[in-house]
Structure 1
Amino acid sequence: MYVPHHFMEDRKEILHRLIIENPFGTLVSNGQSGLDANHLPFELEPNMGELGTLMAHVSKNNPLLNDITALDQVLVVFQAGNAYISPTWLPSKKDSERQVPTWNYLVAHAKGRITFHNDEVHVRKMVARLTKRHEASMDSPWKMSDAPKDYISELLTHIVSIEIEITSLLGKSKLNQDDGATDMIGAGSALIAQGEQKIGVAMLAAAKNLKD
């Protein structure tokens, strides 16, 4: 990933938060059949390994299991939002027409070594953990024990748990930092006004940091 210095984000705690709040990632692998991408919900264990460990599960029918082997390098991409930026939102345009449209976004790239777990105990724990997290905000959270035990046990035989020990973690926060705080505030405010909260709020926060 190309990351100019002013867009770079390498603070582990910030990138961990991005992953936790945006857990649906794209797992990119380069195996025997070439490049492949799988879209999966991940769980991050931040204290497992120097940079954390990602956990997920895939179907036993997924070609990924035969295409790569344990400890192969993979890449997981997490996106926290993106938005089109119009030059008309940038106050500096009033002084000069030297502005063009751009696209802002927040992403994290996690590279690491992948391992597979086939045993039911490990798979059950992974699914239970993922379910508990995403059901936590529900009025009546669903639990695995709510379904028939034999039904759940049968389903678990069809999936494999995966773990990715993160060996490299890099983020890119492209928020018009190269245009300065005034333009960031102008564009960020315009985004918020039209309902694009995530990138708009991120731009205002980044602009405040530039001012400070």
Structure 2
Amino acid sequence: MYVPKTFAQHDTATLHGFIAHTPLAIVVTNGEQGLLASHLPLLLVQDEGEHGTLYGHFARANPQWRILQAGEEALVVFQGAEAYVSPSFYPAKAEHGKVVPTWNYQAVHAYGRAEVFDDRERLLALVSTLSDRHERNRERPWAVSDAPAAYIDSMLRAIVGFALPISRLEGQFKLSQNKDAANFRGVQQGLQQSERPSEQQIAQAMAALQADA
């Protein structure tokens, strides 16, 4: 990922936190069939490996897991909130007009080579942990054990798991850091007034960035 220094995020704890709050990732590989991408919910184990380890699973019918099994490197993309930035947000528009549209966003890329597995107990532990992670805030959380054992066994036979130790972790939080204070505030205020939740989230991220400065 091309990451200008102004927008680069290097803090591992911050990147891990972003991944934890953006669990649906895009796993990209390049093999004999060319580029393939799958949208998968992933689990990050932060203290496993130098940069953490990602766990997930493919449908067995998905040929992409075989590319991982062959040892090819994968790119995992975590895309967060994004927002169109109108030139009208900038006070500079009225001053000199030398402004153009852009886009603010937050994204993290992780790279690594994965271990593929399909033994029942390990898959059961993975899907149980994933389910518990996303059900825990519900009033009546669903658990894998709520389903009939024979049904769960059939579901486990239909998937292939993987563990991907992260060899490289990159973050780009493009939040108008390259603008002066007046134009930064103009973008933040403009996005705060948006009806799009994603644009409001970017405004909140900008506020947090300003508070940390």
- Give TM-score scaled by structure 2 length: 0.94
Q: How many Å apart are 1:188 and its aligned residue?
A: 1.3
Q: Is the 8 A contact 2:68 2:74 kept in 1?
A: no
The question of 1:78 aligning with 2:78 is answered yes
Greater alpha carbon shift after TM alignment, 161-170 vs 62-71: 62-71
Q: Report the equivalent of 1:139.
A: 139
Aligned to 2:34: 34
Deviations 1:39-72 (A, max 9, x none): 1000000000010000001111111133443432
Partner Cα separation in structure 1 for residue 106 and residue 176 of structure 2: 12
Is the contact between residue 68 and residue 116 of structure 2 (CA under 8 Å) also seen in structure 1? no
Q: Partner residue of 1:148?
A: 148
- For the residue of structure 1 that corresponds to 2:141, the secondary structure is coil
- Paired residue for 2:173? 173
Q: Deviations over 1:130-154 (max 9, x none)?
A: 0000001111000111111111111
Contact 2:53–2:163 (CA under 8 A) maintained in structure 1: yes
User: What aligned pairs does 1:36-185 form with structure 2 within 5 A after superposition?
Assistant: 36-185=36-185
Distance 1:19 1:6 in 2: 21
Aligned partners of 1:17, 1:65: CA distance in 2, in Å? 26
Q: Residue 207 and residue 181 in structure 1: after superposition, are their counterparts in 2 closer, same or farther (change >3 A)?
A: farther
Q: Which amino acid aligns with 1:141?
A: P
Instruction: Give the deviation of 1:113 after TM superposition.
Output: 1.1
How many Å separate the matches in 1 of 2:21 and 2:2? Answer: 24
Q: 1:165 to 1:4 in 2, by over 3 A?
A: same
Q: Secondary structure at the match of 1:150?
A: helix
TM-superposition CA deviations, 1:62-94 (whole Å, max 9, x none) = 111334434321100001111100111112223
Q: Gapped runs of 5+ residues in structure 1? A: none
Mean Cα deviation higher: 4-13 or 180-189: 180-189
Aligned-residue CA RMSD (Å): 1.3
Q: CA deviation at 1:179?
A: 1.1
Contact 1:55 1:164 in 2 (8 A): yes
Distance 2:208 2:91 in 1: 18
Q: Give 1:164's aligned amino acid.
A: L
> Structure 2: which 5+ residue stretches go unaligned?
none
Cα distance in 2 for partners of 1:156, 1:181 equals 54
1:199 equivalent in structure 2: 202
